Amino acid sequence: MVDSRKLLSGRRKYLWGSLILLFICVICAAFSMTGNDKFDISRREVLLRKIGDELLLQSGDRTSRVLPVEKISENEYRIRFENDLTFQTDSLVNTTGRLLAKDPLTRDYVVNVLNCGNASVAYGFAISGNKKDDIVACSGRKQPRACYMINIKFKPTGMNTAKKGYILGGLSFLAFVGFIFLRPVKSRRAVPGDQNNSMLTLGSVLFDAERRQLTINGDTVDLTGTETRILRILALSPNETIDRSRLQKEIWEDEGVIVGRSLDMFISKLRKKMEPDPDINIVVIRGKGYKLEVNS
């Protein structure tokens, strides 16, 4: 009986050691990969500014500025200019291809030149890692001087997908092993009436941050990960104004890259999902930020 207990204790110690080692490896890999990705993304943003700079020089403008690069979505950026410019379509294609060839994350991308006034497409082309799939039109034409914005959308790379899969796979395996071997321990230590701290009550609305769900009038509404993070920040301080800059920093942390209208878009989606309950709403505090109003 004593030997059996010692054997069981030894197995538990071995299990705990293995779990801790696996957890450390996954975390280290995650931080290493995240650091590399952030560096490559920062380098890409410098290349995008360089594209804008060369277009201004080709337009004969050596004094005006390339405005801060705007991040439209995870893989889409916008280059803007202080003054109007003109450009040759061939030069834009060649300059973009030459500079983005230095980006290790870039293989396929689409470029659209937009008119500032109405965001209509003045010119566009698509480049693929397989040259025969390139789409380049209107060669040799000079575009009139005007206010332009350049949108560049990149196709997610297989490398990033593999990194995410590696991290998620490691965490999933860790969770599976812990569930199988530690479930009895957890059940014995469970405290009756213990509440999940991810559950928040907002008037008559139940917000489950862990499951990314709202329960309104008995109906369940699913939330995205970003919507959940935004609502959690607002819900932890109901009826209080949360600065727009704080939300942007805590949700995206772009380190200088402008998020643009992404926050407004997610706030609008959250409002629509909470419409069934008139006692809860996200209001805009002009010049400051947002407030989650909850009428008890």
Q: Is 47 a domain residue?
A: yes
The last residue of one of the domains, among 104, 130, 158, is 158
Domain of residue 140, residue span: 34-158
> Is a pLDDT exceeding 60 seen at residue 278?
yes
Mean pLDDT (the chain) is 80
Q: Is 167 a domain residue?
A: no
pLDDT at res. 26: 61
> Is a pLDDT exceeding 60 seen at residue 187?
no
Name the phi and psi angles at 58, rounded to 5. Answer: -65, -25
Nearest to 124 by CA among 106, 143, 105, 103: 143
The last residue of one of the domains, among 158, 174, 189, is 158
Please indicate, yes or no, whether residues 134 and 44 belong to a single structural domain of this protein: yes
Q: Is 89 a domain residue?
A: yes
Q: Is 194 a domain residue?
A: no
CA–CA separation, 172 vs 166, rounded Å? 10
Q: Is 234 a domain residue?
A: yes
Instruction: State the average pLDDT over residues 179-194.
Output: 43
Number of domains in the chain: 2
> Is a pLDDT exceeding 60 seen at residue 65?
yes
Instruction: State the average pLDDT over residues 31-52.
Output: 77
Q: Model confidence over 2-34: pLDDT tens digits? A: 444 555 555 566 666 666 766 676 666 555 555
Q: Is 270 a domain residue?
A: yes
Q: Is 245 a domain residue?
A: yes
Instruction: State the average pLDDT over residues 96-100.
Output: 92
Q: What CATH number is attached to the domain comprising 207?
A: 1.10.10.10
Measured N-to-C along each axis, helices 225-235 and 244-251 cross at an angle, to the nearest 10 degrees, of 140
Please indicate, yes or no, whether residues 154 and 204 belong to a single structural domain of this protein: no
Q: Is 140 a domain residue?
A: yes
Q: What is the residue-wise DSSP string for 218-282?
A: TEEEE--HHHHHHHHHHHTSTTSEEEHHHHHHHHT--TT-B-TTHHHHHHHHHHHHHTT-TTEEE
The last residue of one of the domains, among 109, 135, 158, is 158
